[in-house]
Amino acid sequence: MEHETPELNFNVSVKNQAIKVVCKPQYLANFLIHFSFYSPLVSETGYRSHFVTMEDYEHFKYTSYEECAKDIAVSLVAELLKKNPQAVSEAAQMSLF
């Protein structure tokens, strides 16, 4: 029986806003890494799921899951801002409540 790697929980900061990340390093054996992002900055629903192959992780020479998650989060925020330029200010207002 394979031993499952525990999930990692951490935050990354984009546009001065914290984005919660849950990372499952060995989601599919040693092939995929699964990142779950929680923030109004990543989607209209506040949740986005993203998979990275180990091959891509190694190709881009990431030294930590946090570094990889930060790059993904920056791209998710940019994608949302194209759809909704007010997303950052709306997320900042929501964090006040």
pLDDT (tens digit, 9 = 90+) per residue, 64-91?
A: 999 999 999 999 999 988 887 776 666 6
Q: What dihedral do alpha carbons 51, 56, 60, 66 form, nearest 10°? A: 30
Q: Which pLDDT belongs to residue 96?
A: 45
Domain positions in the chain: 8-91
Q: What is the pTM of this model?
A: 0.84
Residues of the chain below pLDDT 50: 1, 96-97
Pairing of strands 47-53, 32-38: antiparallel
Q: Which pLDDT belongs to residue 6?
A: 84
